[in-house]
Every structure is written in C-alpha cells, then in structure tokens.
Amino acid sequence: MQRFLILVSLVFVTMLFVAKLPVQADELEDIGKELNALKQSLESSQRATRPLEAELEKARKQVTSIQQKILTTQLTLAQKEQDLRASETILEGQKKLMDAQIEKHYKTLKTSESLPTFFSSTASMSNALRGSSYQEMTTDQNKQLILRIVRHILFTEEHKQRLEQEKVTLASYKKRPRHPINIPIRRNRKS
C-alpha cells in the first residue's frame, strides 16, 4: 500500500507540474501580446506626432524670423531718427541763412528807397540798373531759398509723422503676448 500511495502521489505531483506549464506559457504569451501592442501603440504615436513636431519647428522658425524683422525695424527706426535730427539741424542752418538773407535784403531795400539820394548822386544810370538787377536777382534767390526751406520743412514733418506711426506700430508688435512655442520636443531615442 505504501507503494501505491507513493505511486499515486508521484502521478499527482507530475500532473501538477504538467498542468502548471501551460498556465505559465499562457501568461508569457499574454505578456508578449501586451508588449507587442505597446510597441505598436508607441510607433503609431510617433507617426502621429512627427507632423506636429514639423509644424512646431516651422512655427519656431517663423517666430525667429519675425523677431529678426522687429530688431531690423528697430535699427531702421533708430537710423531714421538720426536722419531726422540731422535734417532738423540742416533746417536750422537754412533758417539762419534765410534770416541773414532777409535782413540783407531789407537793408538793401532801405538804402535804395532813398530816392532823393539816388537822384542827387552823380552815379550813372548803368550803375542804378545794375543795382536794380542785383536786387531782383537777390530777391529771386531768396524766394528760391524760402521755397527750398518750406519743402524741407514739409518733408521733415511728413518724415516725423511716418516715424511716429512706425514707432507706434512696432510698440504694438512688441506688446503682443508671446506664444508658448518654446516647448521642448521629446524625441524617443532608439537604442
């Protein structure tokens, strides 16, 4: 009987090992299936994010380009401001020149208006005509100078207005909120 019990127990233990082997194989097969499903999910996720990463990179390049344009515009505006200041300095010089010409013109008119002196003098008629021609030429030059100065003033004022408009526009661009484009791209590293 003891032998019979040993034989039955041996058969029973063998059946337990044999029954456990398929269960462990099924568990390993399930783990392999889950692993394959995860790999497929990862690959499809990577395929889906590639276009988005490309768009993000394109948007970053556009933002960088716009920032460069803003910097260039700032430098251009600074140069325009310098040009405007130089133009105003030139205008001041032209105004002084015009004031001196006007003063000289009125002094000349005052001296030539004294008709009794003109008739009492022994100057010839040709000298009088030359003086008159000179006055006329000086008057024309003064008119041209005044016209140039007026054109310069109008140009300077127009330039000032455009410059102020550009400054306001640039300031509005600089005040706009920055978009969160500086998101780091996570790349899966393949080993």
Tens digit of pLDDT for each residue in 70-97? 889 889 989 989 988 898 898 888 888 8
98: tokens are 């015009």
pLDDT of residue 178: 61
pLDDT of residue 20: 55
- CB atoms < 10 A from the CB of 53, how many? 13
**12 exposed, middle or buried (CB, 10 Å; 0-12, 13-18, 19+)?**
exposed
Q: Can you tell me the mean pLDDT for 45-66? A: 89
Each domain of the chain, given as residue ranges in start order, spans 2-175
Contact between residue 166 and residue 73 where contact means Cβ atoms under 8 Å apart: yes
Whether the predicted pLDDT of 189 surpasses 60: no
Nearest to 50 by CA among 189, 187, 191: 187
Contact between residue 135 and residue 112 where contact means Cβ atoms under 8 Å apart: yes
| Residues contacting 141, CB < 8 A, separation 6+ | 101
- List, for residues 89-146, the tens digit of each pLDDT value: 988 888 888 788 778 777 766 665 554 455 545 556 676 667 677 778 877 887 888 8
Choice between 70 and 186, residue whose per-residue pLDDT is larger: 70
pLDDT of residue 112: 59
pLDDT of residue 18: 58
Share of the chain above pLDDT 90, in %: 7
pLDDT of residue 61: 93
